[in-house]
Every structure is written in C-alpha cells, then in structure tokens.
Structure 1
Amino acid sequence: CHERPLRVFPSMEMPVRARMMANRLTEPAARLLVERGVRVVEGGYSWCSDPRLTLPAAIRMTEAQIDVLLASIACPTQAIFATPAQPYFPAALRDHRVAMMRDARLHLLPG
C-alpha cells in the first residue's frame, strides 16, 4: 500500500461511484475493483495499491513500432478486451491493433 496518506472514504459507495464515473463501469464491476483495491482504515476505507504500478513503462513505443510488433506475431492469438471500450483505448484503436495480427480473433467481454 501507499506510504503517503490517502483520502479516507466513509463508505464503500463513494469509491464505487468514482470508479463508475471515471471508467464507465457498471456498479457490480466497479464494486469488484473497489473491494479488491481498498483497505479498512480508521474512519472508513482508503485505496491500497502497489506504487510500482504508477511507474512509467521501461519502453515507450510509437504506434508504428506497435504495428510492426503485432504484425510479427505468427501464432494464433485470442485478443480479449472489455466492452464498452475505455476512453484511453478506444474501439477503433483496439480494432486496428487486432487487425495488425496475422491470425487474431477478437473476443469482447462486458465490463
């Protein structure tokens, strides 16, 4: 968990609503994430996460580099994504990346 103090929510409902709004999630999907991502603290609940998850990626790739990488995948690939698509990874980009793979099947799951 974080070393610095984080906001304390008096109930689970506030972080659930925040996840729903920020990520366009259903209430059950948001609740699952919140239940796994908060801890009980004095006064309510606080986010708990591995600070390493917020570090920048070791390698930054351009879209052209990603296309070359995906096109080089020779084996059959099952691409699994959530629906609806998230704002940071829109459906058009997802579909383009799946199309770059030689033998990929797209499977969409709600949430």
Structure 2
Amino acid sequence: MSIINTTDATFDQDVLQSDKPVLVDFWAAWCGPCRAIAPILDELDTEYADKFQIVKVNVDDNPQTSARFGIRSIPTLFVFKNGEKVETVVGGRPKSEFVELLNKHL
C-alpha cells in the first residue's frame, strides 16, 4: 500500500470503510511540523504496509472533513478502527511515539 491523499468526497470510503486500522494525518503545505513528520509517515507506511493504512487530509483543500472532525490545529492525527476514531495525537512527534501508537492499535 501507499499513503492515500483523501478528499471530502472520498474520506468515508478511504477511512471509515477500510478493512484495516487507519492513521489519518490532517495537514497543510504551509505547516512546518506537518512537513517535519511527513518523512516519518513515509517510513511508517513502508514498515506497516500490510497492517495499517496511512491517509492524509489537506485541510486547505478539504474544509468539510476538517470541520466534521473539529480540526483546530495541525498536524492532528487520528487512528480509526472499524470506522471509529479511537485515538487522537496533536502536534509533531518523534517516530518512536508513532510506532507505539500504531502497535497499540494492531
């Protein structure tokens, strides 16, 4: 698998109907911390390809989804399992914390 850039139109299909856990990254191109964690998410996508789906939502391009989930600051990351939001992380984190987060929800 590879990282999916989802939209307001495809979010439910890409995230809520996924058959595996999903890490959703709400981000924007102008956000420094968002750009800082992007390479970490790329690594995690490779390492967890068969266990987790990583999905990115550009908040500038997809205001409906951002509003629906009450995104106030970015990066905000959610873990979804079986269509339910089970965890929230706000702000940049080191890779080790993301590894812990993913392992917790496998």
The alignment's TM-score, normalised by the length of structure 1, stands at 0.20
Structure 1 or 2, whichever has the larger Rg, is 1
- Higher strand fraction (1 or 2): 2
The alignment's TM-score, normalised by the length of structure 2, stands at 0.21
